[in-house]
Amino acid sequence: MAPFPTRAKAKPQRPNNKRKRDDVDIAALQASVAALTPSESYTTFSSLPLSEPTREGLKAAHFSTLTDIQAKALPLALQGRDILGAAKTGSGKTLAFLVPVLENLYRAQCIGSDAGLGAMIISPTRELAIQIFEVLRTIGRKGHLFAAGLVIGGKSLKEERDALARMNIVVCTPGRILQHLSQTAAFNVENLQMLVLDEADRILDMGFSRDLDAIIEYLPPDRQTLLFSATQTKKVGDLARLSLRDPEYISVHEAAASATPKTLIQNYVITPLPEKLDTLWSFITSTKKAKILVFLSSGKQVRFIFEVFRHMQPGIPLLHLHGRQKQTARLDITDRFRRAKDSCLFATDVVARGLDFPAVDWVVQVDCPEDAETYIHRVGRTARYEREGRAVLFLDPSEEEGMLRRLEHKKVPIERINVRGKKQVKIGKQVQGMLFGDPQLKYLGQKAFSSYTRSLHVQRDKEVFDLQKYDLEGYASSLGLPGAPRIKFLKADAEEVKRLKNAPRKRKGEESEESEVSAGEEDEDGVVAKLEKVKNGVRTKYDRMFERKNQDVLAEHYGKMVKDEDADGVDAGRLDGEQIGDEDLFDVKRRIPAGGDTPASEVSDEDEEDVAVAAPNGTSRTVHLAGAKDPLIIDSKRREKLLKSKKKLLKLKDKGSRVVFDDEGLPHQVYELEDDDAFRAGGAAEDQRRTFVETEAGRVAEEDVKDKALAREKKREKREKRKARERAAEEDEEGGEAEAGGEDAMANFLADARAADGSGSEDDGEEPPQKKAKKWFEKDVKRDESDGEGREIGTFDELEAEAARLLG
């Protein structure tokens, strides 16, 4: 078996005696790794040829015995083989790829900013990437000198770009790393030796496939690739896409009776859709002293159920998490749930994969997962690494047969249980009351309904999810809604909407008594709220409530809620969007031409941009904005508001066009149309087009060569400067080696990188100030004096700050 291919790398300059000692160690390690026999059963980390820093790191983290997947995968991965690794959830796959990453890069001495990026670890979610980074940090902190970092977005591109240029190991999400690969000129992946995909099947599937294919294009084909997942497959197409070299398929649990951990008890309950909320509430209130993770299919449901249950005070702390929250909020929540003893987290599938929450007692799947793989990953959040756990799946009667067949096929042992009649609490009336008093909650309920219905509609597996078989009216009523909001994609509803849209609109006062009042509202989910029928002209309080739209004056708690979401950068904007939709669909718009109520001439030129014109109810007016192509018609409150925002008004303005001046100072468009005769004199149109394209292409190619040469030159200058600094630092350190100690003297690259950073930009050419050497994974000497063994990173915020501090 081929040993890990070491490549000639520019090593950082270090004192001679230290370098010799390392070279001897590395040669010995290399020989021991080559001598490994993967068929042998290794049981402990100490039985493997690992470097001293990794051994120390594993020991400090109390990892000594190998799990099955680690025992099988490590010898092969250390020898540089490509691997497809499959093992149950919570079985220790993370170390099965992180240890080889550290070791293989260590033996190849891919250390320091000159060495470039040696390993790229891709995870499908930010949370998982952070977790992997944290484990890497834990086992790498005892003496490894790699520069490692997280590239998951949430920071400015520039910040990440600067750090990336110095990294040896990056843990990243597909979208963000692709952005850097395509936009960051200094991001050099030529020396990449290892590519790791955690939750590989997810990254390889439809959602990420384009990003992944594009990423692969940038990476050198001569590399080691490790793929891990609890639901790994060996699809031939994937192997070809990733150019795997004679990959080893390691599936430690293939022969096992079940695909899920033995310590996990799994049950399902048949809960018709309209009873789901009751069952969930009954479950939570009767299981208070526990850590519960509840899966729902959309962020809107998560928000709604969280809000409703929060008000009903179930006696257990509630948390909620979905993909549209701001990154800091998401990290804070995962961290809180991680630390919590008794807590209930409502979440979407954003936490379904890979996350290692300690001691989760229950995983409750309120909404049926889209497939058996998702089921396996969701339940895998409990019963991790030999601990016990329980999982319960709620199934609508229509889902039962199909889903059970799929689970059986994937070797998931699951048994039916029934909800005790006595324990089942009905909360429908209470929820209805809450919605009645709080239009914003009602609005959230409508959104929850529509997003759930939509999620059913888009399910691929129609045998399990047949939209026609669900009792949607009953479900709406269980959410406290007086009827099912209309859904655009449901055929009958779509026709009704079309009819209403096309119907001539009547002014309010002219509405006939038997007509339907168009209280519909369309949102971005394509939902048209139920059209309330007003029979015999009698309008009840109930009718009025449901005609009410989302008022500006928010209920106190919802004001806060919206603010939260606003901070999350999500839903306040969408709320606006809703209102736009409402108006667009059903409100009668009367446009009064210029010269109407407030003639455009009444607004002076200077004032135009800043005037906010209060449009009297039911009328509209027109304002001419300086530089805008079209007059602005103010026919709604939203348009009125627009006038107050200079930024928004900019959008309406004509962008202007670029002109060039001829010798006589006359302006011309950059590409001006020739007159007819001149054009014809130039020959056939196609020939002219071809000549034009060829000339321009030639020009662009020439410029491109120049740009590239310039970029290379800059890079070379930068490298030379850095080397000069390193030499200077080395000389300093050699002088003071007696006090500094050999190991400390090695690590000067990161300090240099930081110093370079401090100079502001790569191109400003100024010599940055020299700083004392600092190492990534290593203890900070100063901190250690006060903190003892090393600073404990408590929260994700601290972790991020730590990473930023070390790399930034």
Ligand X SMILES: Nc1ncnc2c1ncn2[C@@H]1O[C@H](COP(=O)(O)OP(=O)(O)OP(=O)(O)O)[C@@H](O)[C@H]1O
Nearer to ligand X, 229 or 453 (CB): 229
Binding flag, residue 354, ligand X (CB under 6 A):
yes
State the minimum distance, in angstroms, from the CB of residue 44 to ligand X: 9
Binding flag, residue 232, ligand X (CB under 6 A):
no
Q: Which stretch binds ligand X (CB under 6 A): 90-98, 102-110, 272-280, 644-652?
A: 90-98
Nearer to ligand X, 388 or 566 (CB): 388
Nearer to ligand X, 45 or 281 (CB): 45
Binding flag, residue 338, ligand X (CB under 6 A):
no
State the minimum distance, in angstroms, from the CB of residue 231 to ligand X: 9
Which of 65, 183, 267, 551 touches ligand X (CB under 6 A)?
65
Q: Which stretch binds ligand X (CB under 6 A): 59-67, 208-216, 320-328, 685-693?
A: 59-67
Q: Residue written as tokens 């409502």?
A: 346
Nearer to ligand X, 67 or 224 (CB): 67
Nearer to ligand X, 114 or 127 (CB): 127
d(CA 698, CA 798): 52
State the minimum distance, in angstroms, from the CB of residue 203 to ligand X: 13
State the minimum distance, in angstroms, from the CB of residue 228 to ligand X: 7
Which of 67, 287, 478, 748 touches ligand X (CB under 6 A)?
67
Q: Do 148 and 170 meet the contact criterion of CB atoms below 8 Å apart?
A: yes
Question: For residue 222, what are the contacts with CB-CB under 8 A and spacing of at least 6?
Answer: 5
Q: Do 627 and 643 meet the contact criterion of CB atoms below 8 Å apart?
A: no
Q: Which stretch binds ligand X (CB under 6 A): 60-68, 115-123, 621-629, 745-753?
A: 60-68
State the minimum distance, in angstroms, from the CB of residue 66 to ligand X: 6
Nearer to ligand X, 178 or 252 (CB): 252
Binding flag, residue 93, ligand X (CB under 6 A):
yes
Q: Is 194 helix (H, G, I), strand (E, B) or coil?
A: strand
State the minimum distance, in angstroms, from the CB of residue 135 to ligand X: 7
Which of 51, 54, 79, 89 touches ligand X (CB under 6 A)?
89
Nearer to ligand X, 96 or 294 (CB): 96
Q: Give the up-direction half-sphere exposure of residue 215: CA atoms within 13 A in the CB hemisphere.
A: 24
User: Binding string, 68-87, against ligand X, x = CB under 6 A?
Assistant: --x----------------x
Which residues between 143 and 172 bind ligand X (CB under 6 A)?
none
Q: Do 439 and 548 meet the contact criterion of CB atoms below 8 Å apart?
A: yes
Instruction: Classify burial at 98, counting beta carbons within 10 Å of its beta carbon; exposed 0-12, middle 13-18, buried 19 or more.
Output: buried
CB atoms closer than 10 angstroms to residue 357: 20
Hey, what amino acid is at 359? A
Binding flag, residue 91, ligand X (CB under 6 A):
yes
State the minimum distance, in angstroms, from the CB of residue 259 to ligand X: 11
Could you write out the three-class secondary structure of 364-377?
EECCCCCCHHHHHH
Nearer to ligand X, 96 or 649 (CB): 96
Binding flag, residue 134, ligand X (CB under 6 A):
no
Q: Give the up-direction half-sphere exposure of residue 218: CA atoms within 13 A in the CB hemisphere.
A: 21
Torsion angle of the four alpha carbons 778, 781, 783, 788, in this order, in degrees rounded to the nearest 10 = 90
Q: Residue written as tokens 């594009």?
A: 214
Which of 22, 82, 278, 356 touches ligand X (CB under 6 A)?
356
Binding flag, residue 283, ligand X (CB under 6 A):
no
State the minimum distance, in angstroms, from the CB of residue 87 to ligand X: 6
Using CA atoms, how far residue 77 sits from 3, 9, 37, 83, in Å, is 10, 21, 12, 7
Nearer to ligand X, 338 or 447 (CB): 338
Nearer to ligand X, 90 or 116 (CB): 90
CB atoms closer than 10 angstroms to residue 571: 22
Binding flag, residue 94, ligand X (CB under 6 A):
yes
State the minimum distance, in angstroms, from the CB of residue 105 to ligand X: 20
Question: For residue 359, what are the contacts with CB-CB under 8 A and spacing of at least 6?
Answer: 291, 341, 387
Nearer to ligand X, 48 or 169 (CB): 48
Q: Cβ-closest residue to ligand X?
A: 92
State the minimum distance, in angstroms, from the CB of residue 93 to ligand X: 4
Backbone angle region of 618, left / alpha / beta, with phi > 0 → left and psi within -120 to 50 → alpha: left
State the minimum distance, in angstroms, from the CB of residue 387 to ligand X: 9
Nearer to ligand X, 94 or 598 (CB): 94
Q: Which stretch binds ligand X (CB under 6 A): 63-71, 614-622, 644-652, 792-800?
A: 63-71
**Helix 52-60 and helix 93-107: axis angle, to 10°?**
150
Nearer to ligand X, 65 or 645 (CB): 65
What is the full DSSP assignment across 609-620?
TT----PPTT--
Hey, what amino acid is at 193? Q
d(CA 553, CA 26): 69
Nearer to ligand X, 303 or 384 (CB): 384
Q: Is 677 helix (H, G, I), strand (E, B) or coil?
A: helix
Nearer to ligand X, 74 or 434 (CB): 74
Nearer to ligand X, 139 or 490 (CB): 139
Binding flag, residue 92, ligand X (CB under 6 A):
yes
Binding flag, residue 95, ligand X (CB under 6 A):
yes
Q: Which two tokens stand for residue 25?
A: 């160690």
Q: Give the up-direction half-sphere exposure of residue 273: CA atoms within 13 A in the CB hemisphere.
A: 21
Q: Give the up-direction half-sphere exposure of residue 142: CA atoms within 13 A in the CB hemisphere.
A: 15
Looking at 258-298, list the stretches that DSSP marks H as alpha helix, in order from N- to C-terminal side.
276-286
d(CA 86, CA 84): 7
State the minimum distance, in angstroms, from the CB of residue 199 to ligand X: 7
Q: Residue written as tokens 């060495």?
A: 115
Which of 29, 66, 101, 632 touches ligand X (CB under 6 A)?
66
Binding flag, residue 202, ligand X (CB under 6 A):
no
User: Binding string, 361-390, against ligand X, x = CB under 6 A?
Assistant: -------------------x---xx-----
State the minimum distance, in angstroms, from the CB of residue 393 to ligand X: 18
| Residue 199: closest CA among 247, 262, 128 | 128
Q: Do 219 and 55 meet the contact criterion of CB atoms below 8 Å apart?
A: no
State the minimum distance, in angstroms, from the CB of residue 380 to ligand X: 4
DSSP assignment letter at 479: T
Nearer to ligand X, 87 or 305 (CB): 87
Q: Which residues of 675-684 are buried (b: 16+ CB within 10 A; e: fewer)?
A: eeeeeeeeee
CB atoms closer than 10 angstroms to residue 10: 14
d(CA 757, CA 763): 11
DSSP assignment letter at 45: G
**Residues contacting ligand X: total by CB under 6 A:** 19
**Beta-strand relationship, 264-270 and 248-251:** unpaired
* Residues in contact with ligand X by the rule CB under 6 A: 63, 65-67, 70, 87, 89-95, 230, 354, 356, 380, 384-385
